[in-house]
Amino acid sequence: MSVTTTHVKRAFKYRFYPSDAQAAELSRTFGCVRKVYNLALQARTEAWVMRGERVGYSATSAMLTAWKKTRELAYLCEVSSVPLQQTLRHLQGAFGNFWAKRAKYPTFKSRKKSRKSAEYTTSGFRFRDGRLTLARMTEPLAVVWSRPLPRQARPSTVTVSQDAAGRWFVSLLCDDRPAIPAPANAAVGIDVGVTSLVTLSTGQRIANPRHEPRERERLARAQRDLARKAVGDGANRAKARLKVGRVHARIADRRRDFLHKLTTRLVRENQTIVIEDLSVRNMLRNRRLSRAISDAGWTEMRSMLEYKAGWYGREVIIVDRWFPSSKLCSACGTLQGGMPLNVREWTCGCGATHDRDVNAAKNILAAGLAVAACGDGVRPQRSTPGGQSSVKQEVVPTAAPRAAAQPRG
């Protein structure tokens, strides 16, 4: 029998089909949001470089009021002011992350490359009887409600976006009380890879679906068509760019769907999940493997595991990236010497023969359970979205754990 948790914030994303007037209004809004963000970023950068002064949200909000009164930027008054204020708050958050050394310095938004989006708070939209109407619009959006919202849902924010394939989406952030499945006694260690996307400590392998290679020929053909279009050839180049975007969107949708199904199953079936902290950014520098690593989506999978663990009351433990999971014998704890990637099976001096990936998953599980139990070398990880208390710990083993540390039950 399942129980419910405290309220969590969940975003529900739907596709919609705007009318010509709505599409034009939203496109103007996207442009104004990008312009205000860039102006505020420039103003804050100049204030810091020239005067050593930190400019906050309140100051940029006052600047926005002044910009609207100028002749050059009077068009900012033609769209809703809510998304413009929200982009200033987003810039404030970006600077907060920079000063806290969680992110790099904010960069300017590009008209061609940046994500087209606008966020509306409660004063900028009306949601009644399943009909969503944005500010400055008379007709509700034609949303395809592919799944139900929580009962008596009252969205706190609405984010409208358009992807590179030209598709329109709306995301509603709502309070939810997700049902928690019955506690599971199982614990699992996960080793990620390229050939097998996931190898579990139970010995189960989940093959990498390799979504990008399936579409590689179609993608290459679309990119060649785009390369043949001269810069400045407006309509034709835009059509060719849209074809490339559609292929990329098809790949991303398939990958995301597969990862959602996989992570949901892992979280529902296991109370404790132990994974390795991989430096994917550094691994992408390997020119032979970078394409396959990008297609695998390891970072996205870890993110899904973390926030879903928060929803369902599970625990995620992160093992330090320098832990020698592949070279450690899960039977006797002996650490082997160098082991190149082409070695997929090896035999320890104790006589145990190991599959490289299964052995690594067993060691990851043992390390997570052992160190989490004794509390040695454990550092707290970032909190989950919505402030949920799913336990995330980064495990830095001080000694090689033996295989005796097995999950109970």
- Write out the catalytic residue numbers: 191, 276, 357
Question: How is residue 407 written in tokens?
Answer: 């999950």
Quote the radius of gyration of the chain (alpha carbons, Å).
25
Nearest to 35 by CA among 89, 73, 86: 73
Question: How is residue 290 written in tokens?
Answer: 């970078």
Tokens 């982009």 belong to residue? 87
- Measured between alpha carbons, how far is 314 from 305 in angstroms, rounded to an integer? 9
- Measured between alpha carbons, how far is 371 from 379 in angstroms, rounded to an integer? 11
- Measured between alpha carbons, how far is 359 from 353 in angstroms, rounded to an integer? 9
In 202-335 the beta strands, taken as DSSP E runs, fall at 205-207, 272-276, 315-319
- Measured between alpha carbons, how far is 369 from 61 in angstroms, rounded to an integer? 49
| Residues 218 and 231: beta-carbon distance below 8 Å | no
- Measured between alpha carbons, how far is 175 from 149 in angstroms, rounded to an integer? 10
Question: What is the 3-state secondary structure of 226-258?
Answer: HHHCCCCCHHHHHHHHHHHHHHHHHHHHHHHHH
Between strands 196-200 and 205-207, the pairing is antiparallel
If DSSP codes are grouped into helix, strand and coil, which group holds residue 138? coil
What are the residues facing 173 on neighbouring strands? 11, 157
User: 12-26 in b/e burial notation, b at 16+ Cβ within 10 A?
Assistant: bebebebeeebeebb
Nearest to 164 by CA among 251, 255, 249, 231: 249
Question: How is residue 110 written in tokens?
Answer: 């590009």
H or E element that contains 143: strand 143-144
Tokens 């930190």 belong to residue? 54
- Measured between alpha carbons, how far is 319 from 401 in angstroms, rounded to an integer? 12
Which residues, 6 or more positions from 256, have their beta carbon under 8 angstroms from its beta carbon? 297, 300
